């Protein structure tokens, strides 16, 4: 019973939010600049790896500079 006290229960909404992979998220490799984008969502974890290192999440799309 002591183990149950260490890990509080989550609601269904909290589980869904924590484990849902959303369409449109993009990740970039800092070494080779490869970019991947989630095109099909689901439930699970996503830890993209490229060139032997974790990819970083792209927060905003690149914009063209005004000329």
Establish if 7 belongs to a structural domain. Answer: no
27 is in which domain, residue-wise? 18-58
Q: Which of 21, 1, 19, 2 is nearest to 10 (CA)?
A: 19
Position 6 scores a pLDDT of 63
pLDDT value, residue 66: 47
24 part of a folded domain: yes
- Residue 66 within a domain: no
Q: What is the pLDDT of residues 7-66, one digit of tens each?
A: 668 888 887 877 888 888 899 999 999 999 999 888 888 899 999 999 999 986 555 544
**Residue 48 class from Cβ within 10 Å (0-12 exposed, 13-18 middle, 19+ buried)?**
middle
Total domain count, the chain: 1
The token pair at 20 is 């849902």
Classify residue 44: in a domain, yes or no.
Answer: yes
pLDDT at 67: 44
36 located within any domain = yes
């Amino acid at each position: 019973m002591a183990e149950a006290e260490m890990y509080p229960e989550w609601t269904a909404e909290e589980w869904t939010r924590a484990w849902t992979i959303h369409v449109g998220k993009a990740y970039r490799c800092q070494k080779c600049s490869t970019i991947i984008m989630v095109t099909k969502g689901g439930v699970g974890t996503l830890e993209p790896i490229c060139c032997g290192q974790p990819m970083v999440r792209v927060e905003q799309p690149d914009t063209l500079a005004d000329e």
